[in-house]
Structures are given as structure tokens and as C-alpha cells.
Amino acid sequence: MLSKELEQALVTQLNREYHSAYIYIGMSVYCSKEGYNGCSNWFLIQYQEEISHGMKLFRYLEEQDANIELPSIEGVEVEFDSLIDVFEKSLAHEQYMTKSLNELSDMALKSKDHATYNLLQWYVTEQVEEEATVKEIIDNIKLIGDNGYGLYSMDKELSTRTFVDATS
Ligand SMILES: [Fe+2]
Ligand SMILES: [Fe+2]
């Protein structure tokens, strides 16, 4: 059974996963408005993945008979300075999520809740991959600079990303 403290923290994390999804819709809106349809697709896949992170957590909370509260989801930005600005803000957000998940893992260990700790390790591992992917995109954008063909190729590559469901 979940401790009250951990239950509350996991419900907060659930809200953060859905908020992440919403953030990525905002980023997708900006990219499509600027004509980066591949990047827009990439962020829409991010959105879907964050929803599935939320669903994975939601299922666990249900299994644990948690008291699930669903507070409102904070509004997000749809305006950014540039393409690199969007990805840099995306990285900063993922780093924030990593910190949040590390703190949750600490909390699970402290209360000797190994089932929850085990679930959280899936998220911690996922964060390593997410941060690495965004860092790589940022490096590529820096390398490309304002080379039109480079940007076109990168955008085309990001248009091929497909959704991987965290719950299956
Ligand atoms: Fe997530
Ligand atoms: Fe994420």
C-alpha cells in the first residue's frame, strides 16, 4: 500500500505528465506555424508519449487503490523565439521532469516501497533517453545554423518519428 506522502507525490507527477503533454502541443503549434511540419510531428509524438506516461502512472495508482485527484492543468506557451529556443525549452522541461522523478524515487526508497521504486525506475531510464534525444537535436540545429537545406533535411527526418506506447 502507498504511503499518504507517496500517493500525493505520484498524483502530482500524474498531473506533471499531462502538463508535459500539453507543453508539447504548444511547441507543435509553434513549429507548424513556422513551417517546420516535421518538428511539429515530432512534438505531437512527444505529446502522445507523455499521455502514455500519464496512463502508465494512472493504471498503477488504480492498482494501488490510490485516492486520485485531478487538479487543473496549467496553461502553456505557444510562442517561442526560434526553432532552437523550442528545443532548448523542451530540454529544460525534461531536466525538470528528471529531477521530479529522481525525488520520487528517493521518496519510494525512503519509505521502503519497492514496487513504486521499481515503477519509477522505468521513468528514470526513459528520461535518460529523452534528454539525450533532445540534446542531439539541439546539437544538429547548431551545426546546421541557417543552412536552408540542412534545416529542410532535419525537419524531414523528424517527420518520420512514430509513437511508442509506454503502457504496452
Ligand atoms: Fe514523461
Ligand atoms: Fe518527457
Cβ count within 10 A of residue 112: 9
Q: What is the mean pLDDT of the chain?
A: 97
Whether residue 93 contacts residue 19, with contact meaning beta carbons closer than 8 Å, is answered with no
49 CA to centre of ligand 1 in angstroms: 7
Q: Residue 110: how many CB atoms within 10 A of its CB?
A: 12
**pLDDT score, position 52:** 98
Angle between helices 37-63 and 4-33 (to 10 degrees): 160
Could you list which residues have their CB under 5 Å from ion ligand 2?
130
Cα–Cα nearest to 24, from 48, 2, 59: 48
Ligand 1: centre distance to CA 89 (Å): 15
Q: Which residue has the cell 541557417?
A: 146
81, with CB counted inside 10 A (0-12, 13-18, 19+), is exposed
pLDDT in tens, 85-95: 999 999 999 99
| Reported confidence tier of residue 1, pLDDT bands at 50, 70, 90 | confident
What pLDDT does residue 9 have? 98
48 confidence band (pLDDT: 50, 70, 90): very high
Phi and psi torsions of 35, nearest 5°: 90, 5
